[in-house]
Structure 1
Amino acid sequence: MKTRIQILRAVLALSVMATGPAWSAAASGGVTLSGAQQKTLGVKTEPLAAGQHKAQVDAFAKVLDPGPLAQLNSDLLTAVAAAEASRAEAVRAKTLATTGGALARKDQEAAEAQAKSDALKVEILRQRLGLEWGPGVARMSEARRQALVSALSKGVAALVHVDTPSNAGQAGARTVKIDVSADTSVGGVVLGPARAAEPRLQSSGLIVEVTGPSAILLSVGLTQSAHIDTGSPKSGVVIKKESVVRYQGSLWAYVRHGDAQFERRLLQDELPEDGGYFVAKGFAPGEQVAVSGVAGLFAADLAAGQAR
């Protein structure tokens, strides 16, 4: 439906060009439209807001199977419950042993041995958390880890193994962006270093937790490009996706000058952001950029260029 509306507006753009002048203020292209023409095409603009973008190191991300973690967590919770029960039994047996008798002492020794055995099982399972999932997961409280497993099972969280050649950018990393499509990425929080290395990249890797509705897009085994946030952030603006047109292999947006002039301007060195693209140059905060009717603007722009 949206595509059909865009086509209709583009057709309208070709017709409104016959009722008003065309303008080009730069080699990149542009058009002049009256207020009535803009209304016909549904053109609306919004001021660009200042933003920041952290320097990034390109990485590779592979979505991990949460099944082994869920099983290990279940085993640990079961072992903890058994250890608490056997510890309580050992305390009761010790109390009974104070009454004397060989049988009571024998029961005490058996209960204490069982309590030690169960406590050892808990310790081993906790060590396995660190050995298999890294210190970040091992440090979690039982409640936090159980909440993570629950979120993983519901598809509102995903665990991702992120690698870079020779561990570049991994030291001190806190956040990672993972590409889920050509122009969309999701953010994740670094839980800590991984314990299973990626030998082809000579990378020890990071365990990253992604949460939110987009986590369902990260299916187990999926491999995607990623970006580790590092260093000082860059200043610039974010151009919304609905403002952008793709033309001749590049991305463009329309900047309004005055009431009627629209300049088609190139996005330079754009970086994907949630809902758009970050650019550090070529655009300034406060500039009015078209956010709707862009397809009609583009059609009018091309028609004006052919008429010149």
Structure 2
Amino acid sequence: MKPLFLAAGSALSGAALASALFLAWPALTPDADDASPSATAPATPEGVVALDPAQASRAGIHAVTLLPAQTSAARHGLARALDISALSAIQSEIVSARAALTASQADDARQRALAAADQSASTKAVESARAQAVADRARLAAATQRVGLEYGPGLARLSSAALGDLVRAVAAGQASLIRVDFADGAAPGTGVARIGEGAAVMPVRLIGPAAAADTRLQSAGSLAIIYGALARELGTGRVLPASMAQTQGRESGVIVPRAALLRYQGGLWVYRAEPGGGYRRVELTDARAQADGWFVRDGLNNGLKPGDRVAADGAAVLLSIERGGEAAGEDD
């Protein structure tokens, strides 16, 4: 028999192994010299690693049993980045209207002062200056109201300076204005929602309901502003999953320990021990980070349930074995 050497990658926690870990165990199939020419080994299904307990032990793979858990029920929906071109135009209109109002108010005050002093300003000039100031004030009010009418009351509560800062931050890729719609159609208004998927989940605070319903989803949405790396990745129109804890109700599921998680192909995975031996790679759907691990609710298509055993140590080793010893990056 020829030993098989495999290199294990680092675990999801990011703690790199001190050096490339080389593991050796007896080959899983007979050598070509020992096998009958007519014998054909059965193909291993994709995502399955065939290891017996002795081989798993030599590879440093240990399984833990998933225990039942409960957490607050959550609402689920979608989040998407909004185009703020109209908001930028409104902000420019507000700045212009405010400048015009400042000038017309000054002219109004000047004309009234001249008229009171020596009648050098005509009554018509005083009335024209007053009318211009009133018109500019109305123009500023209309521009300010457009924010609430077109985007929602939450954004309308921002000051002109804060609104300008937001527009500049979005233009620089440092922030993003997003809309969150939940499957039940109702808009929560305020609260904290979780945006993103897998390990890239980010909590965001909702600032208020959107001005209009989504015509396609027929739902009333809420607005939020996000900053940082997720804002840079969330281009206009991109859709990400969203969730929000409910004040009433509980959800049942399991807590998956962080040591069992593996980031691969943009998702979160675990290796579940199969009844007949070996491990199967299972993607976690709608997993939510908790203090003691990641909560996976019952009834999802990943099929994890209390009593299942998952590899708590050595998930990266199993992935390396599955890929034939090839090291796997997160984005593979």
TM bucket by the smaller chain?
0.5 to 0.7
Q: 1:12 aligns with which of 1, 18, 22?
A: 22
Residue in 2 aligned with 1:278?
295
User: Which region of structure 1 is more displaced relative to structure 2, 270-279 or 145-154?
Assistant: 270-279
Q: Is the 8 A contact 1:173 1:228 kept in 2?
A: no
Q: Return the alpha-carbon distance in structure 2 between the equivalents of residues 222 and 268 of structure 1.
A: 22
Taking structure 1 as reference, are residues 89 and 12 closer, same or farther at Cα in structure 2, changes over 3 Å only? same
Q: Deviations over 1:81-124 (max 9, x none)?
A: 22122212211221111123263433222211111111010110
Q: Which residue of 2 aligns with 1:112?
A: 130
Name the structure where helix makes up a greater proportion of residues. Answer: 1
Distance 1:245 1:211, change over 3 A: closer
How far apart are 1:185 and its partner, in Å? 3.0
Q: 1:218 to 1:300 in 2, by over 3 A?
A: closer
Is the Cα–Cα contact under 8 Å of residues 101 and 133 in structure 2 kept in the other structure?
yes
Instruction: Give the letter aligned to residue 31 of structure 1.
Output: A
Aligned to 2:173: 155
Given that residues 54 and 229 in structure 1 are in contact (C-alpha distance below 8 angstroms), is that contact kept between their aligned partners in structure 2?
yes
The answer to whether the aligner puts 1:228 opposite 2:244 as a matched pair is: yes
Instruction: Name the aligned partner's letter for residue 6 of structure 1.
Output: G
1:123 aligns with 2:141: yes
- Matched residue, 2:235: 219
Q: Provide, for residues 123-162 of structure 1, a one-character-per-residue CA deviation record: whole Å limited to 9, x for no partner.
A: 1011111100110011111222122112111112111222
Query: Please, which of 294, 305, 315 is the counterpart of residue 294 of structure 1?
Result: 315
CA change 1:112–1:172 in 2 (3 A) is closer
Displacement of 1:300 after TM fit? 7.5
Greater shift, 188-197 or 232-241, is seen at: 232-241
Maintained 8 Å contact 1:184/1:273? no
Distance in 2 of aligned mates of 1:242 and 1:85: 66
3-state SS, counterpart of residue 189 of structure 1 = strand
Number of equivalent positions: 263
Distance 1:111 1:245 in 2: 67
Corresponding position: 1:209 with 2:225:
yes
Quote how far apart the aligned CAs of 1:53 are: 6.3
1:175 aligns with 2:192: yes
Mapped to 2, the partners of 1:134 and 1:269 lie a distance apart of 35
**Residue segments in structure 2 that go unaligned for 5+ positions in a row:** 1-6, 11-18, 28-51, 62-68, 273-277, 298-304, 325-332
Report the AA paired with residue 153 of structure 2: P
Structure 1, gaps ≥5 residues long: 25-29, 44-50, 255-262, 304-308
Could you tell me how far apart the structure 1 residues matched to 2:244 and 2:177 are?
15
- The answer to which structure, 1 or 2, has the higher relative contact order (CA under 8 A, 6+ apart) is 1
Secondary structure at 1:115 match in 2 = helix
- TM-score in terms of structure 2 length: 0.62
Matches within 5 A, 1:262-277: 271-273=286-288, 277=294
Give 1:79 shift: 1.0
Identity of aligned residues (%): 29
Aligned amino acid, residue 295 of structure 2: F
Structure 2 residue aligned with 1:146:
164
Q: Is the 8 A contact 1:79 1:118 kept in 2?
A: yes
1:68 aligns with 2:86: yes
Following superposition, the deviation at residue 251 of structure 1 comes to 3.9
Q: Give TM-score, length-normalised by structure 1.
A: 0.66
Of 23, 31, 47, which aligns to 2:56? 31
Residue identity opposite 1:12 in structure 2: F
Q: Which residue in the other structure is 1:47 paired with?
A: none
What is the CA–CA distance in structure 2 between the aligned matches of 1:173 and 1:91, rounded to whole Å?
43
- 3-state SS, counterpart of residue 155 of structure 1: coil
In the superposition, relative to structure 1, how do residues 118 and 270 fare at CA in structure 2: closer, same or farther (>3 Å)?
A: same
User: Which region of structure 1 is more displaced relative to structure 2, 196-205 or 118-127?
Assistant: 196-205
For residues 116 and 32 of structure 1, do their structure 2 counterparts lie closer, same or farther at Cα, with a shift above 3 Å needed? same
Distance 2:296 2:99 in 1: 54
SS in 2 for 1:171: coil
Alpha-carbon deviations, 1:242-287, whole Å to 9, x = none? 83378xxx94269xxxxxxxx989989764347984357859xxxx
Q: Could you tell me which amino acid in structure 2 is paired with residue 109 of structure 1?
A: E
The structural deviation recorded for 1:187 is 3.1
Instruction: Tell me by how many angstroms 1:73 deviates.
Output: 0.9
Deviations 1:153-190 (A, max 9, x none): 1112111222234524x2354122233x5653333321
